[in-house]
Amino acid sequence: MIRGIRGATTVSGNVEKEILENTEELLLHIIQENQVGPESVASVFISVTDDLSAGFPAKALRNFKEWSFVPVMCMREIPVPGSLEKCIRIMMHVNTTKPQNEIKHIYLKEAIQLRPDLSQSIK
């Protein structure tokens, strides 16, 4: 069965290095907390808010050994007034036998406020 693993983080500015580093940190936590291997991943969607354009956060996944064949796509979030700024969101589609209540969704930095009810936040 395919399950979605959600995650989000924020950056302090529109700087490629920070976008890549924070995305890599979020991916690492999602992978570790859910014991995900690249062979079980169907795809990864990464979205950014309108204020982030300095780099493609999907490039961060290429820093993980053996993940080069995992399909990954970047996109923009809907620019809803008053929504969290400078935010990177991830939806990882994983083949797993785990029930949904065992999936660990990861929210870092200011993104913790997005879904505190689902969050397995790492501070």
Residue 123 has pLDDT above 60, yes or no: no
Mean pLDDT of 109-121: 80
Active site residue 107: yes
pLDDT digits (tens, 9 = 90+) for 2-29: 999 999 999 999 999 999 999 999 999 9
Per the annotation, the verdict on 76 as an active-site residue is no
Active-site option among 62, 76, 85, 102: 62
User: What are the chain's domains?
Assistant: 2-114 (3.30.1330.40)
pLDDT of 121 over the 90 cut? no
Q: Examine the residue annotation and report whether 3 is marked as an active-site residue of this protein.
A: no
Q: What is the mean pLDDT of the chain?
A: 94
DSSP state of 1: -
Q: Is position 33 annotated as part of the catalytic site?
A: no
Query: Considering Cα of 106, then 111, then 116, then 121, what sign does the dihedral take?
Result: positive
Residue with tokens 């570790």: 32
Pair 79, 53: CB distance under 8 Å: no
Assess whether 74 carries a catalytic annotation. yes
pLDDT of 38 over the 60 cut? yes
